[in-house]
Amino acid sequence: MENETKFVIKGGRVIDPANDIDEVLDVYVEDGMISRIGGKKNYQDRAVIDATGKLVMPGLVDIHTHLREPGREDAETIQTGSLSAVRGGITSICCMANTTPPVDSSAGVRFIYDRARYAHCWVYPVAAISKGLKGEELAEMFDMAMAGAVGFSDDGRPLSNAQLLRNAMTYAKMFELPLMLHEEDLTLSSGRHMHEGVASGLAGMQAVPSVAESGMIARDVLLAEFLEARIHICHVSAKESVDVVRVAKERGVDVTAEATVHHLLLTDEDVVASGFDSNFKMNPPLRAKDDLAALIEGINDGAIDAIVTDHAPHPPEDKDCEFAVAPFGVIGLETSASLVYDKLVRPGIIDVKKMVELMSYNPARIVDISAGTLSQGANADIAIFDPEHKWTVSGRAMASKSRNTPFEGWELTGKPVWTMVGGEVAFDELSR
């Protein structure tokens, strides 16, 4: 994504936690990189982007997405998913390995990079931990690390076998790559559709208790402590899970954790209120109010490091069915920044610097990619966010091939309006 054009993004409020910047400054871009921030004004011989009244932030980094390619190109492709990303201010995405076939070989990793050459943003493959995601035998982790996998995950499924996980931790440590763990005790969760609590009780729905997640996290942080390995916990949803991660961090365990946008904003009561709309069905399930409050506390005190989308596209023909038989997952790439801004930043639950930390700086560090900052010499991955832009969420209007959003019809204030990836304008609603 090389570009000869020189840019200056003028007059915006620049938020760059990496350099502790929150100030109105001009951002200069040359040769696909940030050439400088602030300093002597020079608007000649360059494209001038007027960001007055807007927020200028490092492009967001989503380390948990499902792009469905290869195998389910009817649901999403690397092309459509990455377009959806840049429309949401996201410039780097990590895609999970549970495609058809799964990305469990170096050829699979190379396939993703090959397809990603035509993507709208940077796409980084997360490779499978086990062959065929079966949890029985380790995949060729060394080969996949060499091919450029940025992490390993069987996401969609847990690693039930602790010995296999121990072996995976030992390998991942050698490559200094994170194991990104989907935590679920299948003996407690199989065949169940929502969070076990008051709402499921009233509805008479087969439900998953929080301990199906927190119990597995406890096992895995203790195993990581024992082996001095590094792990990342995917989509933490339960209060007890946040507590376990927090205690593990206090004990010095090398663990990071993420929460999804939907778990930060919705609960099991929303599932009921929706009339069991399958767009409210995800794994882990939306939990109770206490859990949501614990996640908010977690993002504020550092127990949770990153906010992700867990973008999981399913076409209408798969999702338009009864709650109990619908597949898990919702899309989120085009709504995550707006939702976090409108529902967490505007009410003062977090500040905008924290938003950028959680959605750009921290996630980039978890998978160790060069992103998440506006430092001089960094890739020119930039999002301009209009804090006053009002819009209404519509699955139909999205670039994603799927429409399964639980936020349909939500009226939001604040929206990414201009996205640059590697010095190229990838999305522009600013000049409209």
* Catalytic residue positions, numbered: 310
Between 182 and 314, CB nearer to Zn ion: 182
- Taking the complex as a whole, the smallest distance from the CB of residue 181 to Zn ion amounts, in Å, to 9
Q: How far is the CB of 379 from Zn ion (least distance, A)?
A: 28
Bridge partners of residue 391, in order along the sequence: 412
CB of 95 to Zn ion, least distance (A): 13
Q: Which of 10, 319 has the CB closer to Zn ion? A: 319
Do the bridges between strand 424-428 and strand 7-16 make them parallel or antiparallel, or are there none, so unpaired? unpaired
User: Which residues, at least 6 apart from 40, have a Cβ–Cβ distance to it below 8 Å?
Assistant: none
Which ranges constitute the DSSP H helices of 274-341?
289-301, 316-319, 336-340
* Separation between Cα atoms, residue 29 and residue 3, nearest integer Å: 10
Question: d(Cα 96, Cα 71) in Å, to the nearest integer?
Answer: 13
Q: Which residues are bridge partners to 257 per DSSP?
A: 233
- Which single residue brings its beta carbon nearest to Zn ion? 182
If the CB atoms of residues 34 and 97 are measured against Zn ion, the closer one turns out to be 97
Using the structure block, give the residue that is written with the tokens 């090959």.
114
Report whether the peptide linkage leading into residue 313 is cis, meaning its omega lies within 30 degrees of zero. no
Binding site for Zn ion (CB under 5 A): 155, 182
Query: What is the spatial distance between Cα 146 and Cα 281, in angstroms, rounded to a whole number?
Result: 36
Which residue type, as a one-letter code, is found at position 122? W
Measured between alpha carbons, how far is 225 from 248 in angstroms, rounded to an integer? 8
User: With respect to Zn ion, which residue has the nearer C-beta, 182 or 232?
Assistant: 182
Q: Could you give the C-alpha distances from 8 to 49, 86, 182, 380, in angstroms and in order? A: 6, 19, 42, 11
To Zn ion, the closest distance from the beta carbon of 307 in angstroms equals 15
| Cβ nearer to Zn ion, comparing 76 with 386 | 76
* Least distance (Å) between residue 373 CB and Zn ion: 27
